[in-house]
A = this chain, B = another copy of it.
Amino acid sequence: MAERVRDGETGIIRRYFAPLAAGVDGAYDLTDDAGRIRPASGQDVVLTTDVIVGGVHFLEAASPQDVGYKALAVNVSDLCAKGADPALYLISLALPAKPEAAWLDGLSEGFAEAQAEFGCGLLGGDTVRTPGPVVISVTAAGFVPRGRMVHRFGAREGDEVYVTGTIGDAALALALLQGRGGMVADKLTASQSDYLKQRYWRPRPRTDSISLVRDHASACMDISDGLAGDFAKMCAASGTGGTINVADVPLSEAAAAWTNEEPARIEDVLAGGDDYELLMTVRQDSRHTFERDCATAGVQVTCIGYISAPGDGVNVLDKTGKPLHYVRRSYDHF
């Protein structure tokens, strides 16, 4: 039988979580009831929170390492989109009674990998029991120079619309993993299929783009619920219309191979989330310096459309310039 955790809440904290807080200023080795953040003079603190639920946000088959990694990654992704440098995070964990030690070991390994990669540390948390599935809520804090946080609602008519990286990989991976890949999926090479799955299991938040966002973006958000829906949210928040040209949406080699064979899969690409790339707008007159700075930083960005007057609505156009009709706009829980 699997080893079960025996040493209570304090034991869980000491064994699995205190190592993540070692050396973190203000975490007090998790021996206090709260943590302390001390921003440098002239810094704002950006706070964001995201919950993931077993069986809803991660597959039952997910390794605990991937679950821990993702729980932090999705929060750090929000900080990146706001132009904030990740610094600290708190974990709220609702666990089944007597969780398996191996699962908790894996979970804390995943958090450890993620925090090392993203440059942040554990500040505190709470661990309780639930009769339901695992629920992991992370709150992440980042620093940004005073007044420099980038918002979802800053887009203006005439701005260019950019995305980082490639879009749709994670959504296609999910189709594969859930057996919804269909005939075409079987034609993917092993390396194409592995590439897509890796994008799903290990979403890498755009920590390489934080200063690019801060210096150039008029509006920014991470793409967590699907490009089309998230673009509509950005336009709504900004009080604008806008247009995306699907032909310009950057695809990985694997995603391009798949959608060439099966054009209808573009719906997964546009409506699926989980890539955690950034969607941002840039003023026209900043376009060249933005693209130059991205090239210098080695960050792939692609212009996929533009912002227009609110009366224009939100448009997703196919190759021929006609509105694309598709069923799902983005993921919604309710």
Contact = CB atoms under 8 A, between A and B. Distances in A.
Interface of A: 5, 7-12, 26, 28, 31-39, 41, 44-53, 55-57, 78-79, 81-82, 84, 88, 90-95, 97-99, 123-133, 135, 137, 139, 141, 144, 146, 149, 151-153, 221-222, 233, 237, 332-334
A32 B220 CA distance: 10
B152 A31 contact: yes
Contacts of A10: 233, 332
Closest 6 CB pairs of A and B: A132-B132, A34-B48, A92-B137, A129-B333, A137-B137, A37-B45
Contacts of A129: 53, 56, 333-334
B36 A45 contact: yes
**How many of these chains are in the complex?**
2
A82 B26 CA distance: 13
B57 A128 contact: yes
A66 to B, nearest CB: 18
Contacts of A45: 36-39, 45
B334 A8 contact: yes
Contacts of A32: 82, 151-153, 237
B332 A8 contact: yes
B51 A94 contact: yes
B31 A92 contact: no
A5 B153 CA distance: 26
Contacts of A94: 51, 53, 135, 137
17 contacts: A7-B334, A31-B153, A32-B151, A32-B152, A33-B48, A33-B152, A34-B78, A34-B149, A39-B45, A45-B45, A49-B125, A51-B94, A51-B128, A53-B131, A92-B92, A128-B333, A132-B135
